[in-house]
Amino acid sequence: MKDIFNKKILRHKVCLVTGGRTGIGYEIVKFLLDHGADVIVFGRKISLLNKRFSLRSDFNERLFVYGCDITQFELTRNTVQDIVRKFKKIDVLINNASVNFEIPAEKIMPNILELSIASNLTSHFFLTVLVGRQMIKQRGYKRIINISAYAGGKAYPGLSHMHVCKAGLDALTKTLAVEWGRYQILVNGISPGPILTKNFIHAHTRLIRLLNRRSVKNVFNEMKENELPLRRFINESDIANMVLYLCSEAGSNITGQVIAVDGGVGISNAYFLNQIKEYSNRR
């Protein structure tokens, strides 16, 4: 994709990203680095982060990794304090990490729901509060971006636990936009559309096998033609570009919004009705 932003748009900005090792998060990290930011990536296992980013020339110069399980409050608080001591500020927080697995609602037990809430909501709430405390004290850029529910927040069967959490994250986005507006902290969300990530392809390939379909390629082509209004899947770079927009001066008067970057899927029922049908068929 052609670069549409000035390469220095985020120069000297300190950006913290969760879930930045893979998928959308990794693309966001790349875009932030490519546009001048100093980027901090949180992950549960420091060894995996080191392996993922070690080949980048800007590793440990403008790209920094921290082993931090954000479901652990004390660890997260200490890590944020370490970052503030080192960098003196945090300009941008991007809450992208999530635990995503499909399970029928009637099979969810308390431990499963507790895992999802801890990973998809509680951890983001407290990380946002910890970073927000620092942002309240500082001047300049103050942006918080939450990666929200898939495709406009429409119901997706088998993911009741995650939608509950993402609905809470959307409520947090809107509430903090009002509560922290007087500190000039902008809080927004991004709702992605269908992206051909490895996880997406794996999930649908498994579904195709369960439904005894032969051609994986044909299924994705049919999906594009019949279910996606723009007749194309979303790219991870589309989400990263929206992050850059919200971080730039162009987005300086946008707050409290959950913006769908989904190619129109969220306003069309075709994709979701088909997902409900296929979900029912394989149960």
Domains and CATH numbers, the chain: 14-195+234-264 (3.40.50.720)
Tens of pLDDT along 20-47? 998 899 999 999 999 999 999 999 999 9
For range 132-144, the mean pLDDT: 95
Least confident residue range of 53-62, 143-152, 234-243: 143-152
Could you tell me which residue, 280 or 100, shows the higher pLDDT? 100
For range 55-82, the mean pLDDT: 94
Q: How far is CA 42 from CA 9, 37, 51, 65, in A?
A: 23, 16, 14, 6
What is the value of pTM for the model shown?
A: 0.89
Beta-strand ranges (E) seen in 56-200 are 63-67, 92-95, 143-147, 186-192
Q: Inform me whether the pLDDT recorded for 120 exceeds 90.
A: yes
195 close to 230: Cβ distance less than 8 angstroms: no
What is the spatial distance between Cα 56 and Cα 183, in angstroms, rounded to a whole number? 35
For range 220-235, the mean pLDDT: 80
151 close to 103: Cβ distance less than 8 angstroms: no
From the list 145, 134, 197, 180, the residue with the least C-alpha distance to 32 is: 145
Least confident residue range of 75-79, 82-86, 102-106: 102-106
